[in-house]
Amino acid sequence: MKIIEIDHEKCINCLECVAECPSHLFIDEKTDSEDTVAYVDPYSSCIQCGHCISICPTDAIIYQSVEKLIKIPKKSIDFNTLFPQLKLLLQTKRSTRRYLPEPVSESEIKEIFDVMKYAPSASNARAWKFLILTDPKKIKTLSQKVVNSISLTRKLVTNFLIKNFFIYGQLRKTINEPSFTVSLDRIIGDSLAGKDPIFFDAPCVIILYSPNYGNLAGCDSGIIMTYGMLAAESLGLGSCWIGFAQESLQRLRSLSKFIGIPRGHMVWGCFTLGKPIPIFHRIPPKPDLSVKRI
Ligand SMILES: Cc1cc2nc3c(=O)[nH]c(=O)nc-3n(C[C@H](O)[C@H](O)[C@H](O)COP(=O)(O)O)c2cc1C
- What per-residue confidence (pLDDT) applies to 171? 85
The residue contributing the CA closest to ligand 1 atom 20 is 95
CA atoms within 13 A on the CB side of 116: 24
Regarding whether 7 and 134 lie in a shared domain, the answer is no
When pLDDT is averaged across residues 123-141 and rounded to a whole number, the result is: 97
- What per-residue confidence (pLDDT) applies to 281? 97
In a domain, residue 73? The reply is: no
Where in the sequence is the domain holding 170, given as residue range(s)? 79-280
pLDDT, tens digit, 9 for 90 and up, residues 96-124: 999 999 999 999 999 999 999 999 999 99
Regarding whether 275 and 142 lie in a shared domain, the answer is yes
- What per-residue confidence (pLDDT) applies to 33? 79
Regarding whether 220 and 105 lie in a shared domain, the answer is yes
Q: Give pTM, 2 decimals.
A: 0.93
Regarding whether 143 and 58 lie in a shared domain, the answer is no
Number of domains into which the chain is organized: 2
In a domain, residue 74? The reply is: no
Regarding whether 133 and 6 lie in a shared domain, the answer is no
- What per-residue confidence (pLDDT) applies to 27? 96
Q: Decide if pLDDT at 289 tops 90.
A: yes
d(CA 242, CA 219): 16
In a domain, residue 292? The reply is: no
Regarding whether 60 and 83 lie in a shared domain, the answer is no
SS3 content of the chain, % helix, strand, coil (to 5): 40, 15, 40
The CATH number of residue 27's host domain is 3.30.70.20
The residue contributing the CA closest to ligand 1 atom 7 is 242
d(CA 125, CA 117): 12
The CATH number of residue 125's host domain is 3.40.109.10
- Name the pLDDT band for 32 (thresholds 50, 70, 90): confident
In a domain, residue 291? The reply is: no
- Name the pLDDT band for 30 (thresholds 50, 70, 90): confident
CA of 96 to the centre of ligand 1 (A): 9
- What are the Cα distances from residue 63, in Å, to 8, 11, 14? 14, 14, 19
Burial class (CB in 10 A: 0-12, 13-18, 19+), 31: exposed
Mutate to test the pocket of ligand 1, among 89, 92, 93, 95 (most ligand atoms within 8 A of CB): 95
CA of 100 to the centre of ligand 1 (A): 19
pLDDT, tens digit, 9 for 90 and up, residues 1-21: 999 999 999 999 999 999 999
Contact 16, 57 (CB under 8 A): yes
Rg value, the chain, Cα? 24
CA of 262 to the centre of ligand 1 (A): 26
CA atoms within 13 A on the CB side of 252: 19
